[in-house]
């Protein structure tokens, strides 16, 4: 593993460790062919601007997690009785996919790991519930974020941290290091909100 990937793997491990003990207060599924999944974890944080998407509840439009996960690759939810649902099953209201994801809400993370050379996600919650994400897509697979930044597991499980490392502490010719970090996080958050299906509203 090259030095940049090693550093990114350490950041990924730290972000996942930070999820342990955090409750899941929101789970949001994509619609139609989009099986992406967002989990908001930790203390709810009020947004500076509420999302405008009418498909979302007031809670989903108004609050986000202190930390969380964006899963864009195939996933599976397991419960005490075995497999509860996979991403390719019906995910509409009252259907099996949505019901399985709803079981994760109000449960607390007891373990979080990125397993194997592919960094497959295993998120364990109390009462025997587990979310697994399989990083097999040629594009973006899954991301974790927290107060210190985010890490994306991308194509062929290559890790991309946000904010990116700044070798030698240099900030580049145009932006100071702190500004670079803010810009990187802003780009990542814009992508996350696109997956949530919402644009900010002034309501």
Over residues 98-129, the pLDDT tens digits come to: 889 999 999 999 999 999 999 999 999 999 99
DSSP string, 14-67: HHHHTTTTPBEEEEEE--TT---EEEEEEEEEE-SSEE--TTS-HHHHHEEEEE
Q: Could you tell me the pLDDT band of residue 49, with boundaries at 50, 70 and 90?
A: confident
Flag whether pLDDT at 14 surpasses 90: yes
Between the ranges 58-67, 125-134, 156-165, 187-196, where is the mean pLDDT highest? 125-134
Q: By C-alpha distance, which of 74, 26, 16 is closest to 198?
A: 26
Give the C-alpha separation, 143 to 37, whole Å.
11
Flag whether pLDDT at 139 surpasses 80: yes
Q: Could you tell me the pLDDT band of residue 196, with boundaries at 50, 70 and 90?
A: low
> Is it true that the peptide bond before 47 is cis, omega within 30 degrees of 0?
no
| CB distance 51 to 198 below 8 Å | yes
Here the tokens at position 22 are 């955090």
Residues linked to residue 68 through DSSP beta bridges, in sequence order: 40, 145
Burial class (CB in 10 A: 0-12, 13-18, 19+), 53: middle
Query: CA dist 183 to 50, 135, 163, 171, Å?
Result: 21, 26, 8, 12
Query: Kind and range of the H or E element at 190?
Result: helix 177-196
Give the C-alpha separation, 191 to 172, whole Å.
24
Alpha-carbon dihedral 162, 187, 117, 155, rounded to 10 degrees: -150
Burial class (CB in 10 A: 0-12, 13-18, 19+), 176: exposed
- If you average pLDDT over residues 130-143, what whole number do you get? 95
- If you average pLDDT over residues 136-149, what whole number do you get? 92
Give the C-alpha separation, 91 to 29, whole Å.
8
Q: By C-alpha distance, which of 103, 106, 95 is closest to 44?
A: 106
């Amino acid at each position: 593993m090259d030095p940049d990937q090693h550093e990114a793997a350490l950041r990924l491990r730290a972000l996942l460790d930070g999820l342990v003990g955090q409750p899941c207060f929101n789970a949001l599924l994509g619609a139609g062919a989009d099986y992406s999944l967002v989990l908001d974890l930790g203390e709810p944080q009020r947004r500076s601007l509420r999302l405008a998407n009418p498909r979302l509840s007031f809670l989903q439009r108004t609050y986000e997690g202190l930390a969380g996960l964006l899963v864009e690759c195939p996933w599976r939810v397991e419960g005490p009785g075995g497999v509860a649902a996979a991403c390719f099953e019906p995910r509409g209201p009252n259907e099996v996919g949505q019901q399985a994801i709803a079981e994760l809400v109000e449960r607390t993370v007891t373990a979080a790991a990125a397993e194997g050379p592919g960094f497959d996600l295993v998120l364990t919650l109390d009462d025997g519930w587990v979310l697994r994400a399989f990083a097999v897509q040629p594009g973006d697979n899954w991301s974790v974020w927290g107060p210190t930044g985010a890490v994306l597991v991308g194509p062929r499980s290559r890790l991309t941290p946000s904010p990116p490392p700044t070798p030698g502490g240099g900030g580049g010719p145009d932006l100071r290091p702190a500004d670079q970090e803010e810009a990187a996080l802003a780009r990542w958050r814009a992508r996350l909100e696109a997956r949530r299906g919402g644009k900010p509203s002034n309501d």
